[in-house]
Every structure is written in structure tokens, then in C-alpha cells.
Amino acid sequence: MNKIISSGNLWLDQNNNHISAHGGGILYYDKVFYWYGEDNTQGYLNSVGISCYSSTDLYNWKHEGTVLKQEQMPQELQAKNMGRVERPKVIYNEKTKKFVMWMHVEQKGYALSSAGVAISDSPVGPFEFLFYDRPVLFEPKEGFDQHTNEKELGNSFRDMTLFVDDIDSDGNGSLDAYVLYSSEGNWTMYIARLNSDYTWIDLPKTSNRIRPQYTIDDLGDKWSRQFIREMREAPTPFKYKNQYYLMTSACTGWKPNLAEYAVANHPLGQFETVGNPCVDDTKETTFDSQSTFVLPIDPNNGQYIYMGDRWEPDDLGKSTYVWLPLTVDNSGEVFIEWQDEWSYENYWIN
């Protein structure tokens, strides 16, 4: 059995196929890790859907199949119509006992830029696609983004993730959860509180795509704009000692760039940027990767795994993974260190 994490190399599943779960995230449920991501095996414009792999040790992964197939999505999202899904994340809802998936649904040209939501009774699917839409309508002082038709459809929804807090602040039976996404044509990041089922933001779903969902007056204190006009994407949050951390990248397509992390005392912010967490990353490319998830290992002691993608734009399915130790020290500073090969059981005891 493999006991080593080796970034930037092929990572084989139990069938000896390179794992295809890019832009992914991990759900830990009933002592099993489930890794969901983009199934890019057929390339960028031939999206297969969302894959799932399971593991009990984070080293050895079993392919559980394509848990949401592109061909089962609405017509206009199907691969033959240039549909594509990116950065899927799955969380478990204690109240409804459902596994809830959010994703960025897209078409060639990146103008569709909407949120897709799917649910399942099982972590390994099949997931039922519910709908896609844009959660928020807000006109920034610079105006709506025209490429994504924001004025008519609501603010664009691209790189996304979900974050579940460890508190149930309104006692509704499910932990507080949030969606974080690049909006306003990627200029500004949005964070919105989810409803108690996690199937939409914290307001009833009332409309279809003809009308944008909610305006700023409806949203009250349930959402926020962060990194205004800073063009950040790849949101990757985690929590340490009641502080909320958020890693992001700059927007340079598939090319890696310098990561930054920010800190806030509430999941909705205000996030204050601290700087680059990568140690000796001389190329300033986040060790040739782009963030997608931070997995807590022993969060009380500041021990996490940073997960990123090393994209291969010409053959997206061959993109590899960069998984590195992420440490938060006592003063709250974050460090990601390069390791050619490492195991999380041994790293922090050395």
C-alpha cells in the first residue's frame, strides 16, 4: 500500500488509472474520505462530469465512478453543447441527510458562469442535478459585467467552493455553511450564507433564469463582497482557532501564479490579506499549482493539507496534484512547504 504523497506526478487509483478529480475537494464522512472533482479524462471541451474517489488513508484511492454525468445535465450543459463543470464540492447536511453538491457550470467562452446544485442520498451518488442559476444581483459602481450578461442574469458565478463552519448559529439543525465564488466577471469575490438544506443561498428559491435571484435589499447581512476589484479566484477557506482563513490565487487562466491568504473573524469577512503562505517558492507560482481545498488533519494544532492543481491545459486530464503540508503557527501565520515526498502521519512530529 502506498504511504507517500508525491506532488506533481501521476497518482494512480486502484485500477492504475491517473486520478481525475481536478478543482476538487474532500468530504470526510463515516470514517471515509471522498474526493470529488472534475473528470477531465476526455479533455477540456468533452467534460465527462464529476468523479468521486474514496479512501480511508488519503494515499490509496478507489474510483467510485462519475457520480454526476455531464450527459445527465440539462441539454445546454451537455458536453456536445460545450457544457462543462468546474470545481465541484460536496457537503453533508445533517438535517436532511443529503449529500449536497455545488459546482460552477460553464460553456465554452465562460459566459454562462452559473452555480449548479445537485443532491444525493449517498456519498457515491448518483447525484440528481436540481438546477443552475446565479444567486445574487448587485450593481457595482463600475457597472455590470457585460460578457456574462450580469444585468439580466445576476452576478457571474465562477471559481467556487463551499465552507461548513462548526457552529449552528440559528439552531436549525444544520451547521452554518457558505458558498464562496468569483463574481463580477472575476473582479470581486462573493461569500453567501447557505439555507438550512444547503441547496441555495439563505433565501427561498423563487425564480428561474428569466429573473435574477435577489437584490442587495433581500440579502441583508447574508452575503459580502471581498477583495473588491482585486481579481482573485480559486477560493480555499479553512478555520483555525476561531479565525477564518481564505487562500486565493490571481486570475491567469491555467497558468499558476502567486497565492495569497487572508484572515477574518467571521466567515463572511472582512478578510484582510496577509501575504504568500508558500515558503521558498522562488518562482512565485504556489509551487506550480492553484489552490482548490485545504483539508484539516489536526486543526487544533494547526495541521492541514494544502491541495492544489497543476494544470496541463493542452491535456487537462493529465493535470497533476500538489498536496503539501500547511501549518498555522501559534501566532496564526500560515506556511506551506514543498516536500518531494511526505506522509502526513510523520511530517509534524519531525
Give the footprint of ligand DGJ on this chain (CB under 6 A): 23, 86-87, 159, 233-234, 253-254, 290
Whose Cβ is closer to ligand DGJ: residue 144's or residue 157's?
Answer: 157
The least distance separating ligand DGJ from the CB of residue 168, rounded to whole angstroms, comes to: 31
Would you say 27 and 34 are in contact if contact means Cβ atoms under 8 Å apart?
A: yes
Whose Cβ is closer to ligand DGJ: residue 23's or residue 83's?
Answer: 23
Would you say 192 and 235 are in contact if contact means Cβ atoms under 8 Å apart?
A: no
Nearest to 36 by CA among 300, 261, 292: 292
Enter the C-alpha cell of residue 67. 457520480
Whose Cβ is closer to ligand DGJ: residue 159's or residue 184's?
Answer: 159
Would you say 206 and 225 are in contact if contact means Cβ atoms under 8 Å apart?
A: no
User: In angstroms, what CA-CA distances link 39 with 60, 109, 132, 270?
Assistant: 18, 19, 19, 34
Question: Beta 214-215 vs 177-183: how paired, if at all?
Answer: unpaired
The least distance separating ligand DGJ from the CB of residue 16, rounded to whole angstroms, comes to: 27
Whose Cβ is closer to ligand DGJ: residue 159's or residue 260's?
Answer: 159
The least distance separating ligand DGJ from the CB of residue 156, rounded to whole angstroms, comes to: 12
Whose Cβ is closer to ligand DGJ: residue 120's or residue 290's?
Answer: 290
Whose Cβ is closer to ligand DGJ: residue 20's or residue 174's?
Answer: 20
Task: Determine the Cα–Cα distance for residues 256 and 305; give it in Å rounded to an integer.
Answer: 19
The least distance separating ligand DGJ from the CB of residue 263, rounded to whole angstroms, comes to: 22
Whose Cβ is closer to ligand DGJ: residue 37's or residue 135's?
Answer: 37
Angle at 153 between CA 148 and CA 155, to 5 degrees: 65
Residue of this chain nearest to ligand DGJ (CB atom): 253
The least distance separating ligand DGJ from the CB of residue 283, rounded to whole angstroms, comes to: 18
HEC sequence for 289-343: CEEEEEEEEEHHHCEEEEEEEECCHHHHHHCEEEEEEEEECCCCCEEECCCCCEC
| Beta strand spans in 70-113 (E) | 83-93, 98-107
Enter the C-alpha cell of residue 230. 482585486
The least distance separating ligand DGJ from the CB of residue 166, rounded to whole angstroms, comes to: 27
The least distance separating ligand DGJ from the CB of residue 301, rounded to whole angstroms, comes to: 30
